[in-house]
Amino acid sequence: MKTLGIETSCDETSIAVLEDGHKILSLETFSQIDLHKRYGGVVPELASRRHSQLLTPLLARALHNAHCTLQEIDLICATYGPGLVGALMTGLSFAKTLALDLQKPFVGVNHLQAHLFAALLSNAERSFTSDKEIVSSLFPALGLIVSGGHCDLVQIDRWGDFTALSRSIDDAPGEAFDKAAQLLGWSYPGGPIIEQQARLYREKQKSPPAKNPFTIAKVKADLNLFSFSGLKTQVYYAVEKLKKQQLNSETLLNRKQEIAYFFQECVCSTIEEKIKRLLAKKGNHYRSLLVGGGVSANQNLKKTLVSSFDQKEFPVLWPTKQLSLDQAAMIAGTGYYQYLQKGPSSLSLGAQGRIPFLKK
Ligand code: KG4
Ligand code: ZN
């Protein structure tokens, strides 16, 4: 079954063709980062306009690279939320028009579930049986979504059956990376730059750096909830302190890299601590950890979490760098298994900026 996936929830326009839900035949992604960089974040109207310009040429390229025609597509899937409503509508309308025209089933996909699916797709040998079924011994699994808009822990009793366990009460980690980078005078998106500058700082140190001056937020009401806005404020004050000092450019850069390093360490240990706390509470309930979202591109976070758990007892399934960012392969894969479990979505399904599955 050839499945077409379409992703336009934010600033990546992406189209993929998968064989069933697990084998990527083609994946074409156009990142709009250069368009939005000068504004320090995504401008929704510009994103929607660019998506509509790009969808048709990307579809042609995705079909060409998958060596198939539009008529050979059996299932059409698109993200319906959460995300920027205007941006979502461009991909969703495009997908529904194709489905109507080709008389093929349409499936609307939840972007967050798809980020978790990216962990399965990236570890296909481990995640799918020879009959293309999702390996049942990975469940119940714990899902961690860390992106520009979300920080969620989710219980996955079996693929398709999600229960929200925890969320951030304020900023998402990607948002914190973006805002910290902005405070440090670096460009958007902040995650990759902070990761790079933190690595440069670490490489210069002969021994492990001193105690982290930044502290993990404690959310009084519920110990499982995340909070990252306090960390952003700590970075703000650290940068303000720097500004008051007369430093030469080399020392200034070194001090900024030090802030980036400790900031990143603090984000990683916050996430590690919450997961450990949850696992301690739930005993040996979970059999694997599926990680997804843009921040999973961070190799320091990967190192922290993978080394935290015995990989035989509690394997951590991490997406490849390509699949950690927004792309349509995860949409096609999620849509395919959703179609097998629940059938097609209604063509009246609308774009949803927020989705209650992970309640705010
Ligand atoms: O999942 P995503 O592509 O879009 C959303 O659905 O939000 O995530 C984008 C976020 C941005 O905030 C970006 O700074 C962050 O992911 N990000 C990273 C890295 N690469 C992207 N954060 C930390 N380290 C990275 N290497
Ligand atoms: Zn995303």
Q: Which atom of ligand 1 is nearest to the CA of 178?
A: 14
Cα(82) to ligand 2 centroid in Å equals 9
Contact yes or no for 262/209 (Cβ under 8 A): yes
The β-bridge relationship of strands 161-166 and 75-81 is: unpaired
- Report how far Cα 355 is from the mean position of its chain's Cα atoms: 16
28 lines ligand 1 (CB under 6 A): no
The β-bridge relationship of strands 141-146 and 288-292 is: parallel
* Dist. CA 16–CA 14, nearest whole Å: 7
Contact yes or no for 76/102 (Cβ under 8 A): yes
State the CB neighbour count (10 A cutoff) for residue 249. 7
CA distances (Å), origin 119, targets 112, 145, 310, 324: 12, 11, 18, 8
**What's the DSSP call for residue 73?**
-
The mean pLDDT value of the chain amounts to: 94
Q: Nearest Cα to 355, choosing from 42, 81, 162?
A: 81
3-state secondary structure of 142: strand
φ, ψ for residue 196, nearest 5 deg: -65, -45
Residue whose CA is at the smallest distance from ligand 1 atom 19: 191
Percentages (nearest 5) of helix, strand, coil residues in the chain: 50, 20, 30
Which pLDDT value is given to residue 270?
93
Which pLDDT value is given to residue 78?
98
* pLDDT under 70: residue ranges of the chain: 219-223, 356-360
Instruction: List b or e across 35-44, with b for residues whose CB sees 16 or more CB atoms inside 10 angstroms.
Output: ebeeeeebbb
Whose atoms come closest to the Cα of 146: which ligand?
1
174 lines ligand 1 (CB under 6 A): yes
Cα(44) to ligand 2 centroid in Å equals 15
Which pLDDT value is given to residue 188?
86
Which pLDDT value is given to residue 221?
60
171 lines ligand 1 (CB under 6 A): no
Which pLDDT value is given to residue 292?
97
The β-bridge relationship of strands 12-19 and 2-7 is: antiparallel
How many CA atoms are closer than 13 Å to the CA of 181, on its beta-carbon side? 23
40 lines ligand 1 (CB under 6 A): no
152 lines ligand 1 (CB under 6 A): no
177 lines ligand 1 (CB under 6 A): yes
pLDDT tens per residue, range 241-288 = 999 998 999 999 999 999 999 999 999 999 999 999 999 988 789 999
- Backbone φ/ψ region at 260: left (φ over 0), alpha (ψ -120 to 50), beta: alpha
Contact yes or no for 93/264 (Cβ under 8 A): no
- Backbone φ/ψ region at 67: left (φ over 0), alpha (ψ -120 to 50), beta: left
149 lines ligand 1 (CB under 6 A): yes
Contact yes or no for 271/301 (Cβ under 8 A): yes
